[in-house]
Amino acid sequence: MREDNSAVWASEAHRRPPGTDDATIEALGELSKALETMHRVRGHLYSAHQLVGGADLTLDRVVKLLRQAGHDEVADRVEHELLGRNVLPGRWTFQIVEEFDDGYYAAFQEIERDAREKLAGGRRHIFEAEMKERRRTHGMPGHEATP
């Protein structure tokens, strides 16, 4: 276990609470890493939401151009079978992101926050702060402990 006592290398917000063992800090670091992955997943879902929406709006132009070119049968198929279609049964992408946000994502955030509160006094990124201290070069510009 790292003894930091009165160390000045980390702000109080990132300092390990007294008596907190290495395994706990590592576990909280991994939980934080997993949550960061979920933030990325959420971003990808929103990207998919915007991309699908943009593609759907582009279909209006596709239908118009197909009709101008005299391809009414193809235009009808695009218009009636694809334009405005659900991407999953009963759902457009906005419904998918809402369900993700309100369900899995919200639960993940709450559980990670609860674990930090119970095991580290709510402090975030202790594992990373300790890694920073181990890896930085003391006295070197750009390697300062704090801003």
Alpha carbons 116 and 125: distance in angstroms, whole number: 10
The pLDDT > 70 percentage for the chain reads: 93
Residue 57 predicted with pLDDT over 80: yes
The count of structural domains within the chain is 1
pLDDT digits 0-9 by tens, 84-116: 999 999 999 999 999 999 999 999 999 999 999
Give the pLDDT score at 9.
Answer: 57
Instruction: Note the pTM of the prediction, 2 decimals.
Output: 0.83
Residue 57 within any structural domain of the chain:
yes
Q: Is residue 143 in a domain? A: no
For residue 25, the model assigns a pLDDT of 93
Mean pLDDT of the chain: 92
In a domain, residue 62? The reply is yes
Residue 126 in this model has a pLDDT that exceeds 50: yes
Question: Cβ(26)–Cβ(71) under 8 Å?
Answer: no
According to the model, what pLDDT value does residue 14 have? 86
**Pair of tokens at residue 101:** 């946000």
Backbone angles phi, psi at 85, to 5 degrees: -70, 145
Name the H helices within 69-92: 72-77
Residue 1 lies in a domain: no
Domain membership of residue 108 as a residue range: 20-128
Asked whether residue 12 is assigned to any structural domain, the reply reads no
Report if residue 65 sits inside a domain: yes
